[in-house]
Amino acid sequence: MATMQAAVFLGKGKISIREVPKPEPGPGEVVIKTRVTTICGTDIHILKAEYPVREGLIVGHEPVGIVESIGPGVTGYAQGDRVIVGAITPCGQCRACLSGDLSQCQVGGDGYKAIGGWRFGNTINGCQAEYVRVPSAQANLSKIPDGLDDEDVLLCPDIMSTGFSAAERGGVKLGDAVAVFAQGPIGLCATAGARLAGASLVIGVDSVPKRLEVAKRMGADVVLNFKEQDVVAEIKRLTGGGVDVAIEALGSPATFDNALRSVRPGGTLSSLGVYSENLRIPLDAFAAGLGDHRIVTSLCPGGKERMRRLMSIVAAKRFPFRDLVTHSFRLAQIEEAYDLFSHQRDGVMKVAIRP
């Protein structure tokens, strides 16, 4: 039996390299050889056992690679094609997919029920490995255009797609004022997404000077350091009463609270965070339910058409997405990479993992 190296979840606080069987494609599936992948904040939740997955699962959900082998029923692809796959892999056939809710695909994996269409590193083996098996490949494999390097498109499978979805789900319109709370990689992509959607004022909120500096390059007109000022009061001053859309990109109850307090009556809070503790909606900020506020959540949109559109934005060079990848590791260094990323040392934003 052919084997490969992979990062495996072994219980709370432990993700390590193990020798595991190399996957083979079944009907409708493709196996890709991973050329580069990365670590997501959700993987840190898994590492800390704040999000439950089974022990022995290969983690990771952001693959960039080349087609290795093709299962029956998959057409239009050939061995050696450079491809990406979204973190969310909709089947294209279930009720949710056919209703247009691709992120909420109802197909699980290996006997486990997915939250939405998130399967890689959740209900099936993920892509922090030398090879990964792609389900529903016809709906999910997207070829990388000539002229784009692997590193150029590394953020497309999840970080860009998730960040942009905040502006889309929040209904950002031409001339809107938008505040983005937390300028990590997803928040920075949300900042870019708000600018692309037509916002005339984009406010970036964080406490790390380097991230606030990058936020300006990603489309923020104003940046606010929440450790140095009352950001809610300043947002209301700048906007004359509150933003049209506030985006929460961290997953913290305190950040959620501030985002809600920054929204004007009739405005929208667009939440991207993965929360590991209960949220409470403050009565005054919610106007006792009489403020016509709207709260929406997003799960990373997936599918090959979504990936194609995101790669076209990368190719247009509107924003320096590649600069968000600050560190590089070999797969064998995965524990070192997790330690750096989870403790946010050395100015890390995203890490590239190369098998």
The C-alpha atoms of residue 46 and residue 55 are separated, in whole angstroms, by 10
Whether residue 180 sits in one domain with residue 136: no
Q: What is the CATH number for 275?
A: 3.40.50.720
Whether residue 80 sits in one domain with residue 43: yes
Whether residue 175 sits in one domain with residue 36: no
Whether residue 86 sits in one domain with residue 16: yes
Angle at CA of residue 12, ends 6 and 16, nearest 5° = 20
Residue 21 near residue 3, CB atoms below 8 Å: yes
Return the axis-axis angle of helices 209-217 and 185-197, rounded to nearest 10°. Answer: 30
Split into its structural domains, the chain has a count of: 2
Q: What is the CATH number for 59?
A: 3.90.180.10
Q: Is the residue at 315 inside a domain?
A: no
Would you say the pTM of this structure is higher than 0.85?
yes
The predicted structure's pLDDT at residue 109: 52
Whether residue 209 sits in one domain with residue 332: no
CA distances from 172 to 165, 217, 224, 300, 335 (A): 10, 20, 21, 17, 39
Q: Is the residue at 314 inside a domain?
A: no
- Domain with 223 in it: 163-297
Residue 190 near residue 196, CB atoms below 8 Å: no
Tokens of 119: 């399967």
For residue 117, which of 153, 150, 158 has the smallest C-alpha distance?
158
Whether residue 199 sits in one domain with residue 248: yes
Whether residue 150 sits in one domain with residue 9: yes
Phi/psi of residue 160, nearest 5 degrees:
-65, -45
Whether residue 122 sits in one domain with residue 85: yes
The predicted structure's pLDDT at residue 111: 47
In the chain, where does DSSP find H-type helix? Answer: 41-47, 95-98, 137-140, 161-170, 185-197, 209-217, 231-239, 253-261, 304-316, 334-343
Regions in the chain scoring below 50 on pLDDT: 111-112
pLDDT in tens, 195-240: 999 999 999 999 999 999 999 999 999 999 999 999 999 999 999 9
Tokens of 16: 């390590």
Residue type, 349: M
The predicted structure's pLDDT at residue 39: 97
Question: Exposure of 45 by Cβ count < 10 A (0-12 exposed, 13-18 middle, 19+ buried)?
Answer: middle
Tokens of 87: 């973190």
Whether residue 78 sits in one domain with residue 221: no
In whole angstroms, what separates CA 93 from the centre of its chain? 23
Whether residue 145 sits in one domain with residue 11: yes
CA distances from 181 to 60, 177, 196, 240 (A): 25, 13, 18, 19
The C-alpha atoms of residue 57 and residue 10 are separated, in whole angstroms, by 8
The C-alpha atoms of residue 323 and residue 50 are separated, in whole angstroms, by 29
Strand 222-225 relative to strand 201-206, pairing: parallel
Strand 201-206 relative to strand 177-181, pairing: parallel
Whether residue 145 sits in one domain with residue 79: yes
pLDDT in tens, 56-97: 999 999 999 999 999 999 999 999 999 999 999 999 988 989
Strand, helix or coil at 152?
helix
Phi/psi of residue 36, nearest 5 degrees:
-155, 145
Residue 129 near residue 68, CB atoms below 8 Å: no
Tokens of 277: 């503790």
